[in-house]
Structure 1
């Protein structure tokens, strides 16, 4: 088991919920779409600094614009959905639902091997684990 990867995944989750709460606050002050534009522009600027610092210009000609556009659209939808939902159901409920959505779709992606991911069929054990997560999410959101 790779402890470093586990720690990175945990930190990504912790930072993601923190970022969403900050974005919600920004959205209340500047509107949701302005928040998305502002945050995205700063992310681009920071990313370009990293590219320039590393001298890794070949990465600028990598994936097709279709995939980039799809990912960008999904990012806007995710930011809008999360920050809008936090205002009405709270951060914890939003994030357990977000994680449930990620778990279910990740299982489907793995099962069919979409996007170049190695196929990993949904087994009875995986389906049972997802069901337990779903029950926990329902109980938490209803509380």
Structure 2
């Protein structure tokens, strides 16, 4: 029925679909540097990741970039894991409920933030860019 609220929370496949749509909207020439980045959707960050970041509550981490920023890569790099963007579904859903922002907008924001890390931007750099654009 139209207008009826969903009967269950969006699953990992839905989060991944929204994230891939956000990645597809990244303009060139940036998009060219994202072809080999792996996108992973998990329920929560693992304990090792949370400990390394000094985060006690897994609901505080919605996404994370693992890898070397584009500007630090070398032609001689080989054998390492591919760059990865991790999205944490339960934390995303919690923030979605708390903020009232559309799920599509929230996932897009998180993806763009993690892509910023891929290009070597710090959190402060990204916040400054967001404020300047907003």
Greater radius of gyration (CA): 1
| TM-score computed with the length of structure 1 as normaliser | 0.27
Which structure has the higher relative contact order (CA within 8 Å, separation 6+)?
Answer: 2
| TM-score calculated relative to the size of structure 2 | 0.28
Structure with the largest fraction of helix: 1
